[in-house]
Chains A and B, each alone.
Chain A
Amino acid sequence: MTVEEAPVSLQDAPGRRLTMIEAINEALDIMLTRDPDVVILGEDVGYFGGVFRATAGLQKKHGKNRVFDTPISEGGIIGVAVGMGAYGLRPVPEIQFADYIYPGLDQLVSEAARLRYRSAGEFIAPMTVRSPFGGGIFGGQTHSQSPEALFTHVAGLKTVVPSTPNDAKGLLIAAIEDNDPVIFFEPKRIYNGPFEGYYDRPVTPWAEHPDSLVPAGYYATPLGKARVVREGEAVTVLAYGTMVHVAGAVCREKGVDAELIDLRTLVPLDLETVQKSVEKTGKCLIVHEATRTSGFGAELSALVQERCFWHLEAPIERVTGFDTPYPHSLEWAYFPGPVRIGEALDRLLGH
């Protein structure tokens, strides 16, 4: 996938290339250094450095008061993070897999999301919940889910999904600095390299991708701003996380002049960028890995329909995971890959 425009702040980049995991680790390290209120907690994040190595080396460098392991209790992890935030810290809890966030859901939905509102600003929950999500790794039912729609539906939560190392670092720094609770979903399939939907091809490492250029030191990528990955005239493609790469590859291979938009933040949404694009192209394809019914794509589709109705030349298309639990053996039949996206593009462009 070629990128026409350089990501923010690359003019200062000395050409350092990082994987997404390295970029996340660096963001956490920078924030621990910059802000003494930042603390990291979660299962296996301390001494061991995390099951995906996202927190490797951080406890050794910043101490056990700042980076520590927790009991296996997602409700407890989120609950104590809410209390730490009320004290004045800036906790960054990790939930090992998004599939295991549900025991912490009550604390997120009933507490973190509403603390500022119900106390009229007396207490806030400036926390960032990091969690690996998404499939494409033979994770089966409980290591593959994309539960973002459960969070976008909750007033008071922000939901962020990076798709590149450069964004992962900048968005994570912005999320940690944000005074609202942020759900930060990391697409684990692209931790170590971009994925274009062809499971039978060798994985390209991040080192060969332009968005793995990550400036050293501090920078923040603003929340609530989408990124136009590629400008085009024929169709607007809305995606986030792994699907940015999959959808981009399909458009490239089919020679579709698509305007590819990486939403980056789902709530609050950068509707302006989306609207401007659809008004130009007249067509809209929404791609996400999560199940279809009441997925975030439904919200996107409704918004595009309301705002761009008179510009639409074709029905809005949604390419998503199927409405089933995430299967193991039939992963590639389930995954919204090149064939499903290609068909949707054909329908759109045939109009």
Chain B
Amino acid sequence: MSGSDTPSQPSANGGRAHNLAPLRLHVPEPPHRPGDPVDFRHVHLPAAGSQPRPDETCPPGETHPLCNSLVRVLDDAGRAVGPWNPQLDPASLRRMLRNMALTRAFDERMYRGQRQGKTSFYMKSTGEEATAVAAAMALDFEDMVFPSYRQQGILISRGYPLIDMINQIYSNRADRLKGRQLPIMYSARSHNFFTISGNLATQLPQAVGWAMASASRGDTRIAATWVGEGSTAEGDFHSAMTFAAVYNVPVVFNVVNNQWAISSFSGFAGAERATFAARAIGYGIAGLRVDGNDPLAVYAAERWAADRARANLGPTLIEHFTYRAEGHSTSDDPGAYRSAQERAEWPLGDPIARLRDHLVALGEWSEAQQAAMDLELAEEVRAATKEAEKNGILGHGLHHPFKTMFEDVFEDLPWHLQEQAEQAIRERRIKWPEWKE
């Protein structure tokens, strides 16, 4: 026991019963801190293809063993093996690869844009592209997704225009959200992508409610929602799981366990005692735990859960076991709390490289094609960025008119907001006399 773990001596009036060992508070500690050598031997990795695939109609309890295992399809040689292999055709696999690579290229450029002062904030999804892209591709376009802030891959998979994403990030005059939202808090009703909130886990009961509405209408659409492992500690996680179980709701819960919630490792969300997938069992919900860096396993699990929901067999919780390869956001330096070697040593590798190797092993892709695609995607993002910059970047004056700040608080503008809008416009005329609206 290290010195810092020694319980403080009981105070004079806080006497202890004799002959009993003192109680001790357990505060979790991650396995590696900055400068530590990295050892991931505690991460249990079953062989790809060794997990059974129960029928989508199975009772929830039957999935319990899978909650403590790891569904994997791609083996170390890049082959797709076992009952969870979704048997996707090469064209679909190449589309999946492209969506993930585009997501990464987009992240790279937007991160640089923030560093260049073009916007205030950005969050990458590096290393987690499969959990958004492969999952989204397993759903129907009409299914409503309730994402957290790290699923930009869904928008990219659904063909949402990059320029609209960049306009939002730059908060410029073409921003569909009129500059009201922090960068990356997208909303895209046209693509069945629910408005992202800064408040963690609120989207979980909302997804359940949406799916309850769909079921009550005899619709055929389902909902899917994403949350990080850190946010499963929020009360909304519990209420969402409870409501989903009670009403047998057609919803898929995706818990992206990337090991880190800003600087707190997953132990602070309870990972030391149980997997996140295993929580499903206590609610009477099917659970799956998948290799989140194996796009085929992610696709297969999401498809299994979606088919189950669509067949009125209720909710599924999928834990995507992955790793947050970069900082939490542009405001974060992970070097301050975790070992720099973690990313390189992460035993599940990189989702893009693994799918690339699979396609190469199939003879459907090559290193040269990969290099050409990467160049092409970087150019596509660059062109969209240049186009978006014509609409302005943050703080350079090209934004929506002042009056729009007061619109959409309510459907109509009540008198008090009308008055405040006039005030804002009066202030603008004083501050910037040459202004043309």
**Which A residues are within 8 Å of any B CB, using their own CB?**
39, 65-66, 70-71, 73, 75-76, 78-89, 91, 103, 106-107, 110-111, 114-124, 155-156, 158, 178-180, 224, 267-269, 271
Name the residue on A nearest B186 (C-beta). A119
Per the bound structure, the CA–CA distance linking A269 and B409 in Å amounts to: 15
- In the A-B complex, the 6 residue pairs with the closest CB atoms: A83-B209, A79-B205, A80-B209, A76-B239, A268-B414, A87-B213
A119 near B414 with CB under 8 A, answer: no
Known: A87-B214, A268-B414. A119 touches B209 (CB 8 A): no
Name the B residues within 8 Å of A117 (CB-CB): 180, 408-409
B202 near A118 with CB under 8 A, answer: no
Q: Could you tell me the dominant secondary structure of chain A's interface residues?
A: mixed
Name the residue on B nearest A83 (C-beta). B209
Per the bound structure, the CA–CA distance linking A116 and B404 in Å amounts to: 13
Name the residue on B nearest A79 (C-beta). B205
Known: A39-B216, A89-B213, A122-B189. A83 touches B206 (CB 8 A): yes
Name the B residues within 8 Å of A114 (CB-CB): 197
B202 near A121 with CB under 8 A, answer: no
Chain B nearest Cβ from A223, distance in angstroms: 10
Name the A residues within 8 Å of B178 (CB-CB): 120
Name the B residues within 8 Å of A122 (CB-CB): 187-189, 195
B210 near A118 with CB under 8 A, answer: no
Per the bound structure, the CA–CA distance linking A78 and B216 in Å amounts to: 17
Known: A75-B236, A79-B204, A86-B206. A119 touches B243 (CB 8 A): no
Query: Per a CB cutoff under 8 Å, which of A65, A82, A87, A123 touches B187?
Result: A123
Name the B residues within 8 Å of A84 (CB-CB): 209-210, 212-213
Q: Which of B28-85 contact A (CB under 8 A)?
A: none
B207 near A83 with CB under 8 A, answer: yes
Name the A residues within 8 Å of B205 (CB-CB): 75-76, 78-80, 82-83, 107
B187 near A118 with CB under 8 A, answer: yes
Chain B nearest Cβ from A296, distance in angstroms: 14
Name the residue on B nearest A85 (C-beta). B209
**Most A Cβ at <10 Å: residue of B146, B202, B209, B246:** B209
Q: Which of B396-426 contact A (CB under 8 A)?
A: 408-411, 414-416
Name the residue on B nearest A72 (C-beta). B242
> Is B286 interfacial (CB-CB < 8 Å)?
no
Given pairs A70-B243, A119-B177, 9 additional interface contacts (CB within 8 A): A71-B246, A73-B238, A76-B239, A79-B208, A85-B209, A91-B209, A118-B181, A119-B187, A123-B189
> Is B154 interfacial (CB-CB < 8 Å)?
no
Per the bound structure, the CA–CA distance linking A192 and B266 in Å amounts to: 53
Q: List 26 A-B contacts (CB under 8 A).
A: A39-B213, A65-B216, A66-B216, A70-B243, A73-B243, A75-B236, A76-B208, A76-B242, A79-B208, A79-B236, A82-B209, A83-B210, A84-B210, A86-B194, A86-B206, A89-B213, A89-B216, A106-B199, A106-B236, A116-B410, A118-B180, A118-B187, A119-B189, A122-B188, A123-B195, A271-B415
Name the B residues within 8 Å of A76 (CB-CB): 205, 208, 236, 239-240, 242-243
Name the A residues within 8 Å of B433 (CB-CB): none
**Most B Cβ at <10 Å: residue of A103, A106, A158, A267:** A106
B408 near A79 with CB under 8 A, answer: no
Name the A residues within 8 Å of B416 (CB-CB): 268-269, 271
Known: A118-B181, A118-B197, A120-B177. A71 touches B209 (CB 8 A): no
Chain A nearest Cβ from B168, distance in angstroms: 10
Name the residue on B nearest A107 (C-beta). B202
Query: Per a CB cutoff under 8 Å, which of A80, A155, A224 touches B206?
Result: A80
Name the A residues within 8 Å of B188 (CB-CB): 122
B202 near A79 with CB under 8 A, answer: yes
A180 near B185 with CB under 8 A, answer: no
> Is B363 interfacial (CB-CB < 8 Å)?
no
Name the B residues within 8 Å of A158 (CB-CB): 410
Chain B nearest Cβ from A303, distance in angstroms: 9
> Is B176 interfacial (CB-CB < 8 Å)?
yes
> Is B235 interfacial (CB-CB < 8 Å)?
yes
Q: Which of B203-230 contact A (CB under 8 A)?
A: 204-214, 216-217, 223
Query: Per a CB cutoff under 8 Å, which of A39, A103, A115 touches B235?
Result: A103
Name the A residues within 8 Å of B181 (CB-CB): 118
Query: Per a CB cutoff under 8 Å, which of B180, B185, B199, B239 touches A71?
Result: B239
Chain A nearest Cβ from B155, distance in angstroms: 14
Chain B nearest Cβ from A67, distance in angstroms: 11
Name the A residues within 8 Å of B180 (CB-CB): 117-118, 120
Per the bound structure, the CA–CA distance linking A118 and B216 in Å amounts to: 27
Per the bound structure, the CA–CA distance linking A75 and B195 in Å amounts to: 19
